[in-house]
Homo-oligomer: A and B are copies of this chain.
Amino acid sequence: MEQKETGLNRITEYQQLVDDTLKGRSYGAHPRELYEPIEYIMSLGGKRMRPVLVLMACEFFGGDVKNALHASIAVELFHNFTLVHDDIMDKAPLRRGKQTVHVKWNDNIAILSGDAMMVRAYQELCKTDVAQLPALLEIFSDTAAKVCEGQQLDMNYERVSKVPIPNYIKMIELKTAVLLGGALKMGALTGGAREEDAQQLYNFGKHIGIAFQLQDDILDVYADAEKFGKQKGGDIIANKKTYLLLKAMEMAETNRYLKEELQLWIAAPHFDAKEKVEAVTNIYNFLNVKELARAEMKKQYAAAMACLKGIPVAEEKKNALIAFADSLMVREV
């Protein structure tokens, strides 16, 4: 327990370091229309999960966090760039409770300032010591390409009626999880890790990322709405293809009545939101998909822990990473 608290305190320190570093960054002065949206999105806050992972991984292998700071900020810039462009594609009005860039300005400005952010991310990364730069660039670009693939798959899956569960897991791996893995691997290398150990930490992050997304799918339906702070059942209302919906669709294949009811709700052009959420939740409950999603989530979490266990670093040094993983997963589901 004490160790866990120490781990969490350390996370807060890392977050502080990231926030302080970001406050000192300027992205460009002129034209304002290009750089103001970057300052805006970067100042909206968030948990700074990815840059913290870079720093943690560096220290985990005995490195000095100063050597990981550029990679850390680069990852945060890249992540925020993907948010700006994804929000255009998803026509999202809000991000962290504030207007999205394309709403506050317009689509063109969101496209272009997003592009400029990606360039700034590479520029930040390139300030890293040249001895480590090629390896970091390789992971960074490889991860960035995978994130694009994941976003495209997500958009593709919106337009098809069925998505097999393994394809869904692959999509969330690419869209969300590889960036956690990439952040950890980059940090590991700045900390002097061997390639194979850095790769194990990448896999740890990947599995945690998948588990985290599965938890998100569950929380949308089953979380205490007040605690969670989001509209309950938002995914159901929007027919979002979550693990729960896909699993329910798969299982309903052999039950004509359930299949028809689920299809009716999905196809309904007009409906009472509360009624739809209740009806679909009832189907989920009947089919027990929450338990199946939890089982998959736990499997991924266990796989993550197995990866961490395999790394030849003193066990007590693993506490911060375990505390981090647990801080993502603690919410009751």
Contacts and interface: CB of A to CB of B under 8 A. Distances in A.
Interface stretch (A15-23, A114-122, A202-210, A259-267): A114-122
Contacts of A134: 126, 130, 133
A31 interface: yes
Given A115-B85, A134-B133, A151-B112, A156 B123 contact: no
Contacts of A115: 85, 114-115, 118, 148
B138 A119 contact: no
A141 B123 contact: yes
A57 to B, nearest CB: 22
B141 A126 contact: yes
A111 B133 contact: no
Contacts of A44: none
A33 B156 contact: yes
A145 B28 contact: yes
A153 interface: yes
A106 to B, nearest CB: 10
A88 interface: yes
Interface in A27-42: 28, 30-31, 33-34
Nearest to A174: B31
Given A31-B156, A112-B151, A119-B148, 16 more contacts: A31-B152, A31-B153, A33-B156, A34-B152, A85-B112, A89-B111, A89-B112, A112-B155, A115-B148, A116-B145, A116-B148, A118-B119, A119-B145, A122-B137, A122-B141, A126-B141
6 contacts: A88-B111, A112-B151, A112-B155, A116-B149, A119-B141, A122-B137
